A and B are shown apart, each in its own frame.
Chain A
Amino acid sequence: MTVPDDTGMQTLYPFLYSGGASADALLADAARSAAEKTAEIAELRALLAERHGEALLHCARRLAEAFQAGGRLLTFGNGGSSTDAQAVARLFACPPPPARPLPAISLPHDVATLTALSNDVGFEVVFARRLAALGRRGDIALGLSTSGGSRNLLRAFEEAAGRGMVTVGLAGYDGGAMAEAGTVQHLFVVPSSSVHRIQEAQTTVYQVLWELTRRALEGDL
């Protein structure tokens, strides 16, 4: 998704817009802004523990049950979130040792199927059709969006819920349509309006979810 410029460039970089700054002053200004952003995400991450702690625990136990029953993880997202879909699938399927690998597939990374479905049917079905083909009752569908409003994700969750899959959603802002759809059983909303901070916090959410799922599978949760 794209959003209006809310990075506060004019406020954060006053020299940039006054036109009279030296290169050194700009460098100092940029470093100060970078440090402020790191404080923002640290604060947001701490808030996630309070807001989502219990739900993460509950979700991790549910995922462990699904894997124990032979379920697989199917992940999806658009743009930057497609790379998170790939990263979370890889974390489950190819974890740092000695954790045991779990079956996981990232849906956005089959370019042939993605472009075929986009060209022949429409972009809205790219994940839903693949879930229909691959997904089984008891599998896990995990989708990431910053807005919570991506049509192809909403269609995918609808498909997954209809097939009896466990559905997990990561969103930002107020959760958008993903929070209203009734198809996302485990929804984790990052309360921020910065696409970048949302993505950073979502990385923590899915990695903590993996850590907890692993502990649950090892009987340690």
Chain B
Amino acid sequence: MRMAEKGPVAPAVRASFERRAGPGRALAEQADGVARACRDMAGRFRGGGKLIVFGSGGAAADAQHIAVEFVHPVIVGKRALPAVSLTDDAAALTGIAAAEGLEEVFAAQLRLLGGPHDIALGLSADGRCPEVRRALAAARDLGMLTVALAGAGGGDVAAEADHPLTTPCGDPCVVKEMHVTLYHLLWELVHVFLEHPATAEHGDGHGDGHGDGH
């Protein structure tokens, strides 16, 4: 066993951490957008809706993380909320990809599982994921509340979302780290809004609507 020791930080290590410093500080600028998304998500949960999460590649793991976060909270006493990830079932994913094309893998599942009271949450660290973009569009057609965690890699998946939360950074690894914080905050603040009586009348959650986020 070797505990890490304090010492001078090598330039390569320092460079890696410094690339995270700016986006880490800039994350605070998304606080208002996160709060509004959580208020509207809480409205959907209160109305009996469920959360459906999806993403490709590394974001498929984030989708599973979000589902377990809501269903089995790490904080004792927080209620379980209904959430499902569309990225777990290799039979479904490969079956749909073979029959309808890769771009349909999430949209096809959403059309079967999603309804107008539900929430769709799509993640893409570079913002260029056609599967996520198509699923968010399908979710809007179904009347779902749509939330996107995106990055600034040149894509526009966030354009489809009621609540686009875009991290303005082109490095997908750094964006992923910001996304982990963002979805932990989504979980925590959804519970704050759910527990507060002042928001009880906001049953629907269409709130700020399309294009208002940051």
Residues of A within 8 A of B (CB): 1-7, 9, 13, 15-16, 19, 21-23, 25-28, 30-35, 37-39, 41-42, 45-46, 48-57, 79-80, 82-84, 86-87, 90-91, 94, 96, 146, 175, 179-189, 195-196, 199-200, 203-204, 207-208, 210-212, 215, 220-221
Contact = CB atoms under 8 A, between A and B. Distances in A.
A32 to B, nearest CB: 7
B3 A189 contact: yes
Contact of A83 (B25, B65, B173, B197): B65
B180 A56 contact: no
Interface string B1-33: 111111111101110110011001101101110
Interface in B155-214: 172-173, 176-177, 180-181, 184-185, 188-189, 192-193, 195-199, 202
B78 interface: yes
What are the 4 A-B residue pairs with the smallest beta carbon separation, nearest first?
A: A55-B4, A42-B24, A53-B9, A49-B17
Given A45-B24, A195-B74, A26 B198 contact: yes
B50 to A, nearest CB: 19
B46 interface: no
A185 B1 CA distance: 5
A19 B197 contact: yes
B58 interface: yes
Contacts of A25: 198
Given A50-B9, A53-B8, 9 more contacts: A26-B196, A30-B192, A33-B189, A41-B181, A53-B10, A91-B173, A184-B1, A204-B17, A211-B16
B85 to A, nearest CB: 9
Contacts of A183: 1
Contacts of B39: 23, 26-27, 30
Given A16-B196, A196-B184, A208-B17, A54 B65 contact: no
20 contacts: A2-B75, A16-B196, A23-B202, A27-B36, A30-B34, A31-B34, A33-B189, A38-B30, A45-B17, A55-B5, A84-B61, A86-B60, A90-B58, A91-B173, A96-B173, A187-B2, A199-B184, A200-B181, A203-B180, A207-B177
Contact of B189 (A5, A30, A189, A220): A30
A207 B19 CA distance: 12
A5 to B, nearest CB: 5
- Give the dominant DSSP class at A's interface: helix
Contacts of B76: 2-5
A187 B74 contact: no
A23 B199 contact: yes
B177 A203 contact: yes
B78 A5 contact: yes
Nearest to A24: B198
Nearest to B72: A79
A9 B7 CA distance: 37
A196 B73 CA distance: 11
B57 interface: yes
Nearest to A37: B185
B13 A5 contact: no
B181 A31 contact: no
A16 B25 contact: no
